[in-house]
């Protein structure tokens, strides 16, 4: 989970007092998209850009900050590409996630 506190948390539904692990992302989190092929998530951190987070290590693998306004929309694409868009400037970008392409496609 995440939210305006700008922290991503792994939870055990049997004990909701605090997350099992957490990672500070900065800027408030607007959207989280899980990669169905591996253990990474794509995070739109409103004021801190877009992040690819490794869920096994709970660390940021890559950050994309080329947008000029709120990081808003994010989606995984084929061949290790990521599509992102920002809110006020209506900018749409496609960029390389930097992940091993064979790991993403399952081949």
Q: Is the pLDDT higher at 104 or at 97? A: 97
- Yes or no: say if 52 and 62 are a contact pair by the CB < 8 Å rule: yes
pLDDT at 38: 87
Average pLDDT of the chain is: 83
Full-prediction pTM beyond 0.95? no
Compute the residue count for the chain.
107
pLDDT at 104: 39
Query: What CA–CA distance (Å, rounded) separates 80 from 61?
Result: 13
Query: What CA–CA distance (Å, rounded) separates 23 from 61?
Result: 12
Alpha helices in 1-107 (DSSP H): 101-105
Q: Is the pLDDT of residue 106 over 60?
A: no
46-94: per-residue pLDDT in tens? 888 999 999 888 888 998 988 889 898 999 999 889 999 999 988 999 9
pLDDT at 3: 60
pLDDT at 100: 64
CA angle 105, 56, 6 (to 5 degrees): 105
The residue among 78, 69, 73, 68 whose CA lies nearest residue 99 is 78
pLDDT at 2: 62
């Amino acid at each position: 989970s995440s939210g305006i506190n700008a922290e991503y948390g792994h939870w055990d539904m049997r004990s909701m007092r605090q997350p099992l692990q957490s990672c500070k992302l900065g800027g408030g989190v607007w959207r989280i998209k899980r990669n169905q092929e591996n253990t990474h998530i794509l995070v739109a951190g409103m004021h801190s850009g877009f992040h690819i987070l490794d869920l096994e290590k709970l660390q940021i693998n890559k950050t994309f900050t080329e947008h000029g306004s709120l990081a808003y929309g994010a989606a995984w694409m084929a061949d290790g590409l990521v599509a992102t868009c920002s809110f006020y400037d209506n900018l749409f970008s496609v960029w390389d996630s930097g992940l091993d392409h064979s790991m993403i496609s399952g081949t």
